[in-house]
């Protein structure tokens, strides 16, 4: 089995990559059977984006800070662990953005798409689902759309629900809502088409972010799951992403 090792710039991750390459050899990501990511969740997201649609599974090992998407680090028996690993298929969100200049942009998100106010003034947003206005006016700091894989990240910090990895759902979660103050968000079918218009965009500018790709001063954001793209993640047997997300609900 040919392995490619991709490490974050953190010293412990770089050192781990050197040890593993000496022990198991190293191939380029284009030639490898499996790409091994060494770092934290941020590095894993970067690797998933970089090699999405390449057909090569990504096996992460924790050599960073947050490691929810990573397996435990262990140098021994790596080939056997990978061969016995369980696969999780992730379909990202496709974000389409129209900015104040009328320019259109697209980006993919594995965790979430979020919108956030740029100034001291709260954002005013109009929320539509499948072409129907669901909230004529949401005054808030922002809003996010999270995948099941991303439901335990920013979404959970914003008091959104945790979604089982195999549930065909998305979380629509407000960030610090002011009006309606009691609206806590919604669970939507994964086929839903979400559109969010920024009201008073000149006075109340808003940015839009798909994982780590950001666009400033947006006028409209459309979000839907993309089945044209997929990423493959590998998890140690018995510790797959489904189990991790389930366990997270009992870990407070």
Residues constituting the chain: 252
Q: What is the DSSP letter of 229?
A: -
Q: How many CB atoms sit inside 10 A of residue 180's CB?
A: 13
> Positive or negative, the Cα torsion across 14, 40, 242, 224?
negative
Per the CB < 8 A criterion, the answer to whether 55 and 33 are in contact is no
Torsion angle defined by CA atoms of residues 48, 52, 56 and 57, in that order, rounded to the nearest 10 degrees: 40
The whole-angstrom separation of Cα 92 and Cα 83 is 25
Closest alpha carbon to 36 in 157, 27, 144: 27
* 41 catalytic per annotation: yes
- Annotated active-site residue in 33, 41, 76, 211: 41
- Contacts for 132-138 with beta carbons within 8 Å, 24 or more apart? 134/186, 135/180, 135/183, 137/179, 137/199, 138/174, 138/177, 138/179, 138/180, 138/183
As annotated, the active-site residues are 41
């Amino acid at each position: 089995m040919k392995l490619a090792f991709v490490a974050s710039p953190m010293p412990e991750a770089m050192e781990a990559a050197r040890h593993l390459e000496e022990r198991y050899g190293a191939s380029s990501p284009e030639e490898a059977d499996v790409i091994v990511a060494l770092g934290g969740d941020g590095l894993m997201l970067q690797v998933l984006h970089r090699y999405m649609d390449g057909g090569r599974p990504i096996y992460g090992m924790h050599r960073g800070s947050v490691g929810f998407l990573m397996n435990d680090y262990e140098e021994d028996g790596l080939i056997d662990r990978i061969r016995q690993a369980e696969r999780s298929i992730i379909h990202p969100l496709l974000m389409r953005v129209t900015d104040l200049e009328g320019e259109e942009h697209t980006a993919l998100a594995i965790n979430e798409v979020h919108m956030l106010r740029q100034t001291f003034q709260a954002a005013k947003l109009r929320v539509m689902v499948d072409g129907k206005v669901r909230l004529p006016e949401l005054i808030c700091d922002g809003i996010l759309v999270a995948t099941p894989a991303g439901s335990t990240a920013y979404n959970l910090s914003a008091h959104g629900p945790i979604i089982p990895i195999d549930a065909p759902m998305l979380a629509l979660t407000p960030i610090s809502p002011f009006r309606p103050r009691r609206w806590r968000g919604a669970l939507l079918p994964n086929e839903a088409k979400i559109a969010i218009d920024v009201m008073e965009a000149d006075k109340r500018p808003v940015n839009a972010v798909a994982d780590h790709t950001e666009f400033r001063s947006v006028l409209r954001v459309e979000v839907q799951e993309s089945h044209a793209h997929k990423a493959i993640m590998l998890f140690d047997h018995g510790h797959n992403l489904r189990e991790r997300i389930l366990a997270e609900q009992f870990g407070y």
